[in-house]
Amino acid sequence: MKNTRVAKRYARALIELAEKSQVEKWGAELEKLAAIVDSPELESRLASPELSLASRQEAMAKIAEKLDLSFPLRSFAVVVARHGRIDEVSAIAEAYRDLVDEMLGRERATLTFAVQPTAEETERVVAGLEAIARKKIIPTIKVDKELLGGVVAELGGKTYDGSLAARVAEARLKLAGHA
Amino acid sequence: MKRSILSAALAIAAFFPSAAMAAEEAEGHGSWLTLSFFVINFILFAFVLVYFAGPPLRKFFGDRASNIHANLAKSEEALREAEQLARAAAERIAGLEQEVAGLRQDLESETKFQVNRVLELARANSERIRRDTQATATALADNAQRRVRENLAAVAARLARDLISRHLEAADQRRLIEGFMDKLGQEARR
Domains in chain A, start-ordered, CATH in brackets?
5-102 (1.10.520.20), 106-176 (no CATH)
Tens of pLDDT along A117-170? 999 999 999 999 999 999 999 999 999 999 999 999 999 889 999 999 999 999
Q: Are B18 and B34 in contact (CB under 8 A)?
A: no
Q: What residues of B are in contact with residue A171 (Cβ under 8 Å)?
A: 153, 156-157, 160
Q: Do A97 and A115 form a contact (C-beta atoms < 8 A)?
A: no
> H/E element holding B104?
helix B54-167
Q: Is the pLDDT of residue B11 over 70?
A: no
Band (pLDDT 50/70/90 cuts) for residue B16 is low
Range of the domain at B124: 2-189
pLDDT in tens, A10-65: 999 999 988 888 899 999 999 999 999 888 888 888 878 888 888 988 999 999 99
Chain A contacts of B188, Cβ < 8 Å? Answer: 128, 131-132
Q: Measured on CA atoms in the order A56, A92, A79, A23, is the torsion positive or negative?
A: positive
One-letter amino acid of B152 = L
User: CB count, 10 Å around CB of A56?
Assistant: 20
The pLDDT tens digits of the residues spanning B136-173 come to 999 999 889 888 889 999 999 999 999 988 888 889 99
pTM: 0.55
Using one digit for the tens of pLDDT, what is the confidence trace for B33-71?
888 889 999 999 999 988 898 888 889 999 999 999 999
pLDDT tens-digit map of A60-101: 999 999 999 999 999 999 999 999 888 899 999 999 999 999
Q: What is the ipTM of this complex?
A: 0.72
**Cβ contact, residue pair B149, A128, below 8 Å:** no
The two beta strands, A136-143 and A150-155, are unpaired
The total number of structural domains in chain B stands at: 1
A87 contacts: CB under 8 Å, gap ≥ 6: A43, A47
Can you tell me the distance from the alpha carbon of B55 to that of B58, in angstroms, rounded to the nearest whole number?
Answer: 5
Q: Cα separations (Å) of A111 from A31, A138, B183?
A: 21, 10, 15
Q: Which of A162, A163, A177 lies nearest to residue B146, judging by beta carbons?
A: A177
**Closest-approach residue (CA) in chain A for B172:** A149
A158-163 vs A150-155, strand pairing mode: antiparallel
Reference B181, options A125, A167, A138; nearest CA is A125
